[in-house]
Structure 1
Amino acid sequence: MSKVKGARGAVLEGRVAVVTGAARGVGELLARKLSARGVKVALVGLEPDALKRVSERLHGESAYWHADVTDHVAMAEVAEQVGERFGRVDIVVANAGVAIGGPFATSDPDAWRRVIEVNLIGSAVTARAFLPLLMESRGYLLQVASLAAVTPSPLMTAYCASKSGVEAFAHSLRPEAGARGVTVGIAYLSWTDTDMVRGADRDDVMREMRQRLPWPSNKTYPLGPSVDRLVAGIERRATHVYGQGWLRVMQPVRGLLPALIGAVGKREVRHFGDRLDDVPRGLVGAGGAADEAARGQ
C-alpha cells in the first residue's frame, strides 16, 4: 500500500486513529478512507453490530468498541483498551453526534438535553479519555463541528448550541494541548448527505425551511468529497477543516450573521405558523434512533 504524505510530510500509513460515531455517515466513511491510507482504525459507537460490519469491511487492521461517548468511565476503559490493542493513538476524531429539530418551547426536554450531552459533553469526554495517549504520540485531535457553529438557525437551538460549544471547547483546548505537542483541529460541515440530514428532511417543515435558505446553504452536499476534505485536513494536521470550500468564507462575516438570521428567521417562523406544532420532537435519523434504543427509550 502506498504512503500518503501531507503538507508537513506526515505519513498516515501505520498510524492509529480513533473515530467516534463510526457506525454510519461521516464516521463510517472517514474510517474507510483512513483505512485505505494504511491507518489502523478503532471504531467507537453505540451499535455493535453495525460497528462490526464496518470493521470487517475496512482495508487493514481495525477493532471496535461499544461505548457511550458521554460515559466517562466507559470511555476511559475504551482508551486504555485501544492503547493496549494498538500500542499508540495518533489521531482522534470526535464525530459522534445527534440532533433534534422544531421550536424550543415545545421541544422534548430530554431529547434537547441529549443533543448537548452527546455533541458537547461527549466530545469533551472523548478528549479527556484520549489526551494522555495523544500527548505520548504528539498526535492530532479533530473535533467535528458544523455550519451550525458559525451561524444560528431557528428550530435548531440544541444543535446550534452544541456545535457552537464544541467549537469554543476546541479553540480553548488548543493552546493547552499544543503545549504538550497535540494539535487540535475543528471540522466544519454544511448539510451533508447522512442519515441525520435525511432524517430531518423527512419532516415537511424542516425540509421546506432548509430549502428556503440562501444558496449555497440550502444544498445537500455529497458525503464522499466532504470526507475527502476531512482526510486531507488530518494529513496536514489542520487547525480548521472545511467539508465544503465556501464555509471558509463564512468565517470573516460570522459576526454579522446573528442579527441577519434574527430578522430573516423571525419572518420564516411566522411563515410556517401552526405547522411548526407538527414537527417531531425526538432525535432524528437512524443514529438518533440508535441512541434512543441504547438508552432504552
Structure 2
Amino acid sequence: MSSVLDPKIALVTGASSGIGRATALALSKAGATVAVGGRRTDRLEALAQEAPGEILVLDMDVSDPESVRKAVDRTVERFGTLDIVVNNAGVMLTGPVLDADLAEWTRMVETNLLGSLYTVHAALPHLLRSRGAVVQISSTSGRISSAGAAVYSATKFGVTAFAEALRQEVTEQGVRVVLVEPGFVSTELADHIADPNHRAAVKAMAESMRTLQPEDIAAAVVYAVTQPDHVAVNEILVRPTDQSR
C-alpha cells in the first residue's frame, strides 16, 4: 500500500457511491486519512470497513450550509487539520425544459453548485493554513451544453467558473485548485432521472461506448493531489475513448 499521502487529511463529499466512493478508497490506499460525507451513512459505514486507512463517517447534506459547516468542523476537530477537499456530491436530473419539474432544478442547483460552494467556504480557512488542495468534480457538461441537460449543464458550468475564480484568489497562497471533468462514467446518476424517455436515452448512449469507471476518475484525483507542491494540475478532462463530444 502506498503512503504517498500520509499524513494528509482529506474530505470527500458524495462518497456513498460512484466517483466519490472510488476516490475515498483511492485516497485511503494512497495513505491519506479520509472523512467521507453523504446522506446514506449505511453505505459510508460499509466503505469505512473496506478502506485500508482510518475513515471518519459524516452525515452530511451539502445543500444545507449548517450541515456542511458541522462536517468540516468535525473533521478538523478529529484530525487537527484539513489538506484535501474533493467536492463530488451531485445529482443529474436531466430532461427537457418544457414542462420540467422545477423542484428537480432546485435540487440540482442546491446540490451540484451551492453544495460545492458551501463546502469550499467552510473548508477554505483550514486549507489556507495547510496550503492544501480543492478538487472540484465537474463534467464534460460543464464545457459543452446539450439539449435535455440545460440545468444540469448550468450547474456544472457554474462549478467550472467558480473553480477558476477560486484558483486566482488562492493559488499564490499555496492552495491548489483542481477541476476534474469526467465524460460518461458508469455510476448510478442516470438511475435518478425521472423522465423515462430521457433516462432510457442516457442509458442507451452509455451502453453504446466503453464508459469510464469511477476508479478512472479517482486515479485522476490522486494524480493531481500527489504532485509536488510547486506543481498545480488545474484541469483534467477525462472522456471515454469512444465518446466524441
TM norm. shorter chain > 0.5: yes
How big is the shift at 1:114?
0.8
Q: Does 1:178 align with 2:183?
A: no
1:192 is aligned with what amino acid? V
Greater C-alpha Rg = 1
Provide the C-alpha distance between the structure 2 equivalents of 1:2 and 1:219, rounded to a whole number of angstroms: 29
The one of 108, 112, 119 aligned to 1:119: 112
The answer as to whether partners of 2:13 and 2:37 remain within 8 angstroms in 1 is: yes
Q: Do the aligned partners of residues 239 and 246 (structure 1) sit closer, same or farther apart at CA in structure 2, a change above 3 Å counting?
A: farther
Q: Do the aligned partners of residues 47 and 172 (structure 1) sit closer, same or farther apart at CA in structure 2, a change above 3 Å counting?
A: same
2:81 is aligned with what amino acid? R
Q: Does 1:158 align with 2:151?
A: yes
RMSD over aligned Cα atoms: 2.4
The answer for the alignment partner of 2:103 in structure 1 is: 110
- Structure 2, unmatched stretches of 5+, are none
Can you list the C-alpha shifts for 1:34-70, whole angstroms capped at 9, x where unaligned? 1011110000111111111111211111111102112
The answer for the alignment partner of 1:292 in structure 2 is: none
How big is the shift at 1:109?
0.4
TM-score (norm. length: structure 1): 0.74
Can you list the C-alpha shifts for 1:8-54, whole angstroms capped at 9, x where unaligned? xxxx1211100000001000011111101111000011111111111
Q: How does 1:1-297 map to 2 (within 5 A)?
A: 1-4=1-4, 12-200=5-193, 203-208=196-201, 219-236=210-227, 237-244=232-239
How big is the shift at 1:164?
0.4
- Structure 1, unmatched stretches of 5+, are 5-11, 251-297
Number of paired residues? Answer: 239
The answer as to whether partners of 1:227 and 1:243 remain within 8 angstroms in 2 is: no
Q: Which moved more, 1:123-132 or 1:220-229?
A: 220-229
Provide the C-alpha distance between the structure 2 equivalents of 1:91 and 1:152, rounded to a whole number of angstroms: 29
Kindly indicate which of the two structures has a greater share of residues assigned to helix: 1
Provide the C-alpha distance between the structure 2 equivalents of 1:43 and 1:191, rounded to a whole number of angstroms: 24
2:80 is aligned with what amino acid? G
How big is the shift at 1:220?
2.3
Q: Percent of aligned pairs with the same residue?
A: 31
TM-score (norm. length: structure 2): 0.89
Provide the C-alpha distance between the structure 2 equivalents of 1:68 and 1:13, rounded to a whole number of angstroms: 28
